[in-house]
Amino acid sequence: MMCVQSLDGTLSFFEQERFSFSRFLPKNLIPGPISYLSKTDSFVTINGFSVESYRFQALASASDSGSE
């Protein structure tokens, strides 16, 4: 799996070189560091002065772009 962060705060996920889904993170105004934590199956990012964590399953099930 690969995650790409766009300039507008959208995370796009790819599995086996194919687009899987994308999810817009509304609070992210500019791209910042992002890290995957396998122990909790979540992505951690920084927004302003706070750390935010998003579980992969929650991002996948709440996807507003759908799968191809």
- For 6, how many CA atoms within 13 A lie in the half-sphere containing its CB? 11
Number of structural domains found in the chain: 1
Do residues 45 and 37 touch, judged by C-beta distance below 8 A? no
Residue 66 lies in a domain: no
Residue 67 lies in a domain: no
65: left (phi over 0), alpha (psi -120 to 50) or beta: alpha
Q: Which helix (H) or strand (E) holds 59?
A: helix 56-61
Domain of 52?
2-61
Residue 68 lies in a domain: no
Q: Which helix (H) or strand (E) holds 22?
A: strand 18-24
pTM above 0.85, yes or no: no
Q: What would the pLDDT profile of 4-63 be if each residue is shown by its tens digit? A: 998 888 899 999 989 999 998 877 777 888 999 999 999 998 887 888 899 999 988 885
